[in-house]
Amino acid sequence: MRSLPTLTERQKRNFWSKVHISEAVNCWDWAGMVHTSGYGRISFQDKDYVAHRIAYFLHMGADPLSSNVIQTCENRKCCNPAHLQLKVHCAILSKLQVQSIREQAANGVSLRRLAQKHNVGLTTIHDIVNQKTWKDI
Ligand SMILES: [Zn+2]
């Protein structure tokens, strides 16, 4: 997955101006261009990005990098940060890596360090260590 660009304040305003911002409980539909896949898209410097990944990025201040950002509401146009969550590509971590992550965390290696080392999000490492994902290992 392509890293997300650093956006200027103007680009950020431009992005949010294309989102139907509503109450926190509601979906915030993307009003800009839409991919054939149904996901919102936006271009910066002639490169296409997925709109809700940008929403996540702007809200969290962290690039989701190799992790997928999923909409818990299953609305592909939704850009409400409250409905966005990181989901790991399961294939990127092997069983051995997962075991090693848990071992290292148990030995006091910081979760942030482990996330950087494996190029995954902090949430991903947190979920692995807390047995929320990869429960069968
Ligand atoms: Zn939603």
The DSSP result for 70-126, as a single string, is EETT--TTB--GGGEEEE--GGGS-HHHHHHHHHHHHTT--HHHHHHHHT--HHHHH
The overall average pLDDT reported for the chain is 89
Query: Taking residues 107-123, what's their average pLDDT?
Result: 88
Tell how far the Cα of 51 is from the centroid of ligand 1, in angstroms.
13
Tell how far the Cα of 93 is from the centroid of ligand 1, in angstroms.
28
Tell how far the Cα of 74 is from the centroid of ligand 1, in angstroms.
7
Tell how far the Cα of 106 is from the centroid of ligand 1, in angstroms.
36
Q: 47-50 and 68-71: which strand pairing?
A: unpaired
Tell how far the Cα of 70 is from the centroid of ligand 1, in angstroms.
10
DSSP summary character for residue 29: B
Question: What is the band of 58 on the pLDDT scale with cuts at 50, 70, 90?
Answer: very high
> Comparing C-alpha atoms, which of 112, 57, 61, 119 is closest to residue 129?
112
Tell how far the Cα of 20 is from the centroid of ligand 1, in angstroms.
11
Taking only the tens place, the pLDDT of each residue in 34-50 is 999 999 999 998 999 99
Tell how far the Cα of 34 is from the centroid of ligand 1, in angstroms.
16
Taking only the tens place, the pLDDT of each residue in 14-40 is 999 999 999 989 999 999 999 999 999
Query: Among 29-33, 52-56, 57-61, whose mean pLDDT is lowest?
Result: 57-61
Question: What burial class does residue 94 get, using C-beta atoms within 10 Å of its C-beta: 0-12 exposed, 13-18 middle, 19+ buried?
Answer: exposed
Tell how far the Cα of 96 is from the centroid of ligand 1, in angstroms.
35
> Comparing C-alpha atoms, which of 97, 84, 7 is closest to residue 45?
7
pLDDT of residue 20: 97
